[in-house]
A and B are shown apart, each in its own frame.
Chain A
Amino acid sequence: MTMAAMGGVLVVGYGNELRSDDGIGPAVVAHLAHDRRFRDVDVRAAHQLTPELALDASGAALLVLVDAATDAPAGEVAVRRLDPGEAAGDVLTHHVDPAGLVGLARELWGAAPPVVIVSVGVASLDVGDRLSPAVEAAIPRAADAVALAIEEHRRA
């Protein structure tokens, strides 16, 4: 059983690492893996949010998602809490959006954690395996935002 499934914190950074800045989510969680602040946190990278994550999400006390944002300036880090009443977007074949993920957790396992979404504005989504400079520079700030969200959750 995973730490998240036992009531811990689950952090999922997701995106396509072969689409330049879309890989910011996996890049942030790779950074977290070497950060002592996150040693008791279940940290994972994913290509996209899949229905299978709903099982672990259902057991977590907090779910933090790290994703790329196309509607923000490059490198800008934003934090928002998912509204529990937010409806799921398009439900596609292999992946779900954050609201769909917690919706599945709630429907199937009767529990869904609060969700914090940390997003980083992107400069390029072209084919490529490197982040643009502004986005790469945002990694420590995104990590701090994740840490703050976890700290606030634990204080509450």
Chain B
Amino acid sequence: MSQTIVIDPVTRIEGHSRITIQLDDRGEVVDAHFHVTQFRGFERITQGRPVHEMPALMARICGICPVSHLIASAKAVDDIMAVEPTPTGADLRRIINLGQIVQSNALSFFHLSSPDLLFGFDGDPAVRNIIGVARKHPELARDGIGLRRWGQQIIEWLGGKRIHPEGIVPGGVAFQLTAEVRDRILAGVPEAIAAVERAIAWYKTDMLRWEEEAATFGNFRSAFMGLVDRHGNVDHYGGWLRVVDADGHHLADKVDPKTFNDYIGEAVEPWSYLKSTYWKPMGYPDGLYRVGPLARLNVAERTGTPRADEELEKFRWRVGRIASSSFHYHYARLIDTLHAIEKIDLLLRGPEILSHHVRSVAGINRHEGIGVSEAPRGTLMHHYKVDDNGLVEWVNLVIATGHNNMAMNRAVLQVARKHVKADRLEEGMLNRVEAVIRCYDPCLSCSTHALGQMALRVQLLAPDGTVLSELAR
């Protein structure tokens, strides 16, 4: 008789979800789904609000990556106001965004994923957590805590608050940077670099243990998308969208992010609140692509900073020019973090960084605006429409986790087929299925807002799994 295995909730991710694995009569995995079971609804909640409130409201979407939403939202309002932030304002936004990248990547790698890497997927669940890491590898735990703290301090010092900061506003930023704060951040750079380089060194040694896992951990051919600068290097704040295929060929390059609707479609499945985005030219579901740290490294020529580029070269030597296994998100996340630290250092040493010209001022000059940036988990898009008075009429949020939705489902199915055997279910099997989701570091609080498109299905099942009744809306 066929049966379903349910992993509920999926742990050590941002938000609430479950995984179902469908087995056939022989106990073989035939299908698997990653269900996002929480709902937030910001796209509807914000209708009717003055558009200048949007950045502060959007920051409330998430306690982990509020800065990402602030940046994309402020850029969308810049677009509506037809205004360019001042150069200093733009650079300060970049620094806060990079602080966000550092602290969120540190949370993902050190706090959430390193327990699996340190203790193994078959390890005792009681110790697979940050306290277990502290006991077995204290330096790794200290480095993770230190990196996260440094990133959070940058957000707090530049944005006003550690969580839900308000320093990023339409037209630029609210606060001028002082020399004292600049120097305080710069003083932390050497230790931050040392910490992430220690983690990279450890990971490169440790990853040899995981070669077999990497081969089947969401390892499939797909496209990748991310922002790049005019040199084709990683850009977390602006630039152009680039999409490459599984062989590295450009499917699209120098795409103005404001035209993303021409290229990206959104689909809704009946078993999840999370929308699935797809590359329109290839249709749904063939237009699967991935975003986030792995995608950023795959689409870019280089990172553009020396230490990270050195590590990127080694990364490509180990895993190829286009890394296809989702397992390599971990490695990519560390290099992404190293690049972010170096970039913060560079920006803080800019000649105009202490300028008091941090904000441009304008009114409502357009009825529509789009803002795009790179969040820790991938490319983030905010799209607003307003009336003549600047009141919000329509909002669409395209979130990194939505871009990765199809890829996460494919990865779950691949891992389940490899590891789940119905005749002998073990903790390690199911942990691997969870862990492949953690590679993408999904943020479900960020990504579930499409009221009106939401999919809800209630099924009444007989003991043998037969569907007796079903209601859908």
A-side interface residues toward B, CB under 8 Å? 47, 51-52, 54-55, 88, 91, 93-94, 96, 100, 103-104, 107-109
Contact = CB atoms under 8 A, between A and B. Distances in A.
Contact of A93 (B14, B135, B149): B14
A93 B145 CA distance: 13
B285 to A, nearest CB: 30
A52 B131 contact: no
B129 A91 contact: yes
Contacts, number: 50
Nearest to B108: A93
B131 A104 contact: yes
Given A52-B149, A103-B131, A107-B134, A93 B12 contact: yes
B12 A107 contact: no
A93 B111 contact: yes
B146 interface: yes
A107 to B, nearest CB: 4
Contacts of B144: 51
B148 interface: yes
B130 A104 contact: yes
A108 B141 contact: yes
Contacts of B138: 107-108
B114 interface: no
B399 to A, nearest CB: 19
Name B's interface SS: helix
Contacts of A104: 130-131, 134, 141, 145
B63 interface: yes
A134 B12 CA distance: 37
A94 B131 contact: no
Nearest to B149: A52
Interface in B53-70: 63-64
Contacts of B141: 104, 107-108
Interface string B186-203: 000000000000000000
Given A55-B146, A55-B149, A108-B138, A47 B13 contact: no
Given A93-B12, A93-B13, A94-B64, A107 B135 contact: yes
Interface string B44-58: 000000000000000
Contacts of B11: 93
Nearest to A48: B63
Contacts of A55: 145-146, 149
Given A94-B64, A94-B107, A94-B111, A88 B145 contact: no
A100 B145 contact: no
**3 cross-chain pairs, A with B, having the tightest CB-CB distances, nearest first:** A91-B129, A107-B134, A52-B149
A51 B145 contact: yes
Contacts of A88: 131
